[in-house]
Structure 1
Amino acid sequence: MKKLISIFLSVLMLASTSGVAYAQHFCSGMEMASEITFGEKQLSCGEMDVEATGCSENNVVGEDNHCCKNHITKIKIDDSFAKASFDLKINKAFVATFVSVFILKEVAITSAQKFFFADYSPPPLEQDFNILYETFLI
């Protein structure tokens, strides 16, 4: 994924420094032609006459008139680009915890053998403390 992003950004930087532009040709408010060009290229819709409401009938499309317009969109970048630097502060306790929990995954804190006290009987009472202190649950 990192390689794909770096390739995309390098192609974008190459395209922006080489003068790539998107040129569109509009006649009577409608887009007639569009293409991706290197530099500014003037597009035309051919040698036909435009018969629109705002155009005079003797104007040819190739001439500079108010009926046909070229719109050019350039990719621009700042000339003062520089490699970004980051200050990375690593918390050592976090890294140690992360490694022990997610990378090592099993840390033997307790023994694997479990002891059950099923046969254990409690020691005998010397005195009954509830009667001695007269504390009864109601």
Structure 2
Amino acid sequence: MIKTITHKLFSVGLAILVLFSTVSFTIEKHYCGDVLVGTSVFAAAENCGMEAMEKAQKKSCCKDEVDVVEGQDELKITSFEDLDIEQQQFLVAFTQFYINLFESLPKQVIPHKDYSPPNLVQDIQVLDQVFLI
């Protein structure tokens, strides 16, 4: 019971690890001076509304930072032909062994399947006072 629960939790954890290792996203931050005004993970960050004033002054007090979290995008995909001859032989032997491992058992003949026991009128052991101890 505990082994199956642990196995399932470990499997889910590894699946989540693979998912998050391949996902990439960006974090955008908008600063007005030294004050953080807006932060966003998937969309553009919220501005402070100083764009009109910045155009007139030609000097910007605001700055945007973009942090990119890159996921793994180069996954190694190998085909059967890329393996060595020893690895190919092992893979073929393993699959053949695994397929032939689960053969069905022969159907067993039960000779007394259709036999019905006689109807008991009285319990003979109680009648003769014979009991197994």
For the superposition of Structure 1 and Structure 2, which TM-score range results when normalised by the shorter chain? 0.3 to 0.5
TM-score by length of 2: 0.38
| Larger helix share, 1 or 2 | 2
**Pair member with larger Rg:** 1
